[in-house]
Amino acid sequence: MLENPEDILKKHAAILIPATGRGVITAENYKNLDVKVIIETRSFNVEHRIKRKLHNRGILVIPGLITNGGGMFGSYEEFIASMPGMSKETLNARK
């Protein structure tokens, strides 16, 4: 068990997935990271101004827009399908 949740960011790992919310990786803690890849699960897990610094250290940051893209399309399709008068056939015809 970790005494301080921030200590998890000091652990060596190939991939880090900060799935807790905004501003997980900041100017104060990015230097402690020992990872190769960060996969954002939400927008802004990594502060924008830090992304270039991580890149310069050889750490790949995959943004939430990419990792959550399928969810956005699925939500849109569900929204359109729930509209009055919209059938699955009509939705498929619009594609």
pLDDT of residue 67: 83
pTM of the model: 0.70
3-state class of 62 per DSSP?
strand
H helices of the chain, in order, are 48-56, 64-67, 69-81, 88-94
94 pLDDT band, cuts 50/70/90, is low
pLDDT of residue 37: 97
3-state class of 64 per DSSP?
helix
pLDDT of residue 70: 72
Give the span between the Cα atoms of 71 and 68, in whole angstroms.
Answer: 5
CB atoms within 10 A of CB 63: 18
pLDDT of residue 88: 67
pLDDT tens digits, one per residue of 56-67: 999 999 988 788
Give the range among 4-8, 56-60, 84-88 with minimum mean pLDDT: 84-88
Residue 56: partners with Cβ closer than 8 Å, 6 or more residues away = none
